[in-house]
Structure 1
Amino acid sequence: MKHAETVTFGGSGLERAAHLRNNPQELAALFEDNGQVLMVWRGKPLVQGPDNGQLVWVDARHPMVASATKSAVFLGLEGGKGLFAVDVSHWTPDDLDTSTLNQFLDPSEQVPQGGPAGAVFAELRAVMTKLDARDAECAATARAVLEWHRTHGFCAFCGHKTMIGMAGWQTDCAACGRHHFPRTDPVVIMLILSGNSVLLGRSPGWPEGMYSLLAGFIEPGETIEAAVRREVQEESGVHVGQVGYLASQPWPFPASLMFGCIGHATSTEIKIDPEEIEDALWVTREEMMQIFAGEHPKVNAPRQGAIAHFLLQNWLADTLD
């Protein structure tokens, strides 16, 4: 395994067993017999508190699962047991506090009805670095696919309501016969270098001091390399020559695949597009060491778990592969 595959949400090697997705009888047996079910509430996986260091799996007999079995998503196999995810967002806690639910990083936790002792629903961004590789892959997969179902319940061609098929990995339209599949949006995120410096930027609305690598969606008909050059030039005015690939990261917020790239700037003058970003600046390797140490007067360290943190940390350590 390449070092690049150790990025958060990568490198687990989950046995997805896609050949079982069209075998409802065997899946039903796996689910009811000894299935392990991950409950997800409003995008939050069930984890073990207070450290939130592992997912909490329940069986099919759990009361919150029983009402959602028809929409269960088959994640794969682990030691011969079936792994599933169900969306339990229909449940509303009696003491629900909605004041933080739409924040960038929701700090609130919810205790499930009849759940295992110490189990809470927690924001995946907050717990992702505490999970091991297998739990992180399962949580990311569950969140992305369940969110797709939540927002894509109707046929994109004829508008009729669709039905879940292929163990959650497809929806079918009885009206026009079309099939739909979970979407993944390709995004480039760029380590743009000029000599000893790296280019950082910040988007409007980000928390104070938060900067990251520039990033943007790949457009239809565009290569990864072309997207890197276009996005950097559009956002910062900096031109990029040689581009290379470094690492990728599934990013289920809601359903992106981040292509981490390295690019070498052919110009250094910054002229931002205020509709794209709020600020951009060149940061030297020495300044980046200050940032990671929490000693920089303006810039905070990138969030752990994000591919930007991974790329910058490995650039500093000269361990990019």
Structure 2
Amino acid sequence: MIGFTGGTLDRADRLRHDGAALTAATADGRARLLVLDGYTPQAGDDGRLGWTTLADAPDDAVLILLGLDEGAARFAAFVPGTIGGGTPAMRAPALMQMLAALAPGEAATYAAARSLIDWHGRHRFCANCGAASEAFRAGWGRRCPSCATEHFPRVDPVVIMIAEHDGRALLGRGKGWPPGRYSALAGFLEPGESVEEAVAREIEEEAGVRVRDVRYVASQPWPFPSSLMMACVAVAEDDAITLDTAELEDAIWVPRDVVREVLAGGEGPFLPPPPYAIAHTLLTVWAAR
């Protein structure tokens, strides 16, 4: 399973539009609130997320409906003024280890909660007129009481990709990464650009390699803070690397058999991306071809 996917909650979009039904779901004694310390989930030894009653929500909290679990509502709480300011992009090693150990589907629930809480924290004012906005649709939107503009959680599309040439994969190393870590190249889509065009542009910009025949592999939500990673493979026209040192520290070509060996836990010229990252899935799919 790709990391942060496989969520088991019924997202219950119908409740977001039905005030009476939402009130009933909130009053249900089975309703639960996700336990978070800032952005960090509190998980048990069984790898399950921690939940508590809605009575533990602060008085000024905005309850965000994450969905239903066997008919019982599950919420996250956004507390105005306590979270925001760019911190969600930070990924402490301890947090990532915890997420990797979560039971299947649990990380997907956390990803939704984290992204929504961060979005509320960074979008408290109307982008149209500047007035303070208010949460609505069970936390899945904000409405401006001044100009009536409605705002909805954003998802930032990102391409993450491997260029292949003569049975080798192009991998890059970002600045500040753990020693030896190499992964797929990645970058945000730009306005007026297709996925295929973004893949070609990013590889050429970062490594100076021109590619063609882009093919899609899979996607992954990435809640740091709220991206959608779209994994692709492209065919390189040549293997000459011209590195953009503002983007990458290094880039290397790695043969397929070496990638297989590294992914299997063996020795090799690089440390692979962690299993919960779609870059790991992308390498695994490419190496198995």
Where 1:192 maps in the other structure, the secondary structure is strand
Partner of 2:108: 137
Counterparts of residues 285-296 of structure 1 (less than 5 Å):
285-292=256-263, 293-296=265-268
Partner of 1:35: 31
Counterparts of residues 1-321 of structure 1 (less than 5 Å):
6-12=1-7, 14-33=9-28, 34-49=30-45, 53-62=47-56, 65-69=57-61, 71-87=62-78, 104-107=91-94, 123=95, 125-292=96-263, 293-296=265-268, 298-318=269-289
Aligned equivalents of 2:120, 2:93: Cα separation in 1? 22
Aligned equivalents of 2:60, 2:174: Cα separation in 1? 38
Deviation at 1:86, TM superposition (A): 1.3
Report the TM-score when normalising by structure 1. Answer: 0.82
* TM-superposition CA deviations, 1:132-167 (whole Å, max 9, x none): 333121111000011101111111111111111111
Gaps of 5+ in 1: 1-5, 93-100, 108-122
Where 1:171 maps in the other structure, the secondary structure is strand
Moved >6 Å (runs of 4+)? 89-92
Where 2:35 maps in the other structure, the secondary structure is strand
Aligned equivalents of 1:263, 1:233: Cα separation in 2? 12
Deviation at 1:103, TM superposition (A): 6.0
Deviation at 1:31, TM superposition (A): 1.9
Q: Number of aligned pairs?
A: 283
* TM-superposition CA deviations, 1:29-61 (whole Å, max 9, x none): 212312121133322122114x6x110111112
Closer/same/farther in 2, CA of residues 41 and 24 from structure 1, 3 Å limit: farther
Check the 8 A contact 2:58/2:79 in 1, yes or no.
Answer: no
Which amino acid letter does the alignment assign opposite residue 243 of structure 1?
V
Check the 8 A contact 1:200/1:212 in 2, yes or no.
Answer: yes
Deviation at 1:288, TM superposition (A): 1.5
Deviation at 1:304, TM superposition (A): 1.8
Gaps of 5+ in 2: none
Name whichever of 79-88 and 217-226 sits farther off.
79-88
Aligned equivalents of 1:192, 1:314: Cα separation in 2? 13
Aligned equivalents of 1:174, 1:207: Cα separation in 2? 47
Name whichever of 15-24 and 37-46 sits farther off.
37-46
* TM-superposition CA deviations, 1:76-127 (whole Å, max 9, x none): 11111111111469789xxxxxxxx9964253xxxxxxxxxxxxxxx2x222
Deviation at 1:262, TM superposition (A): 1.3
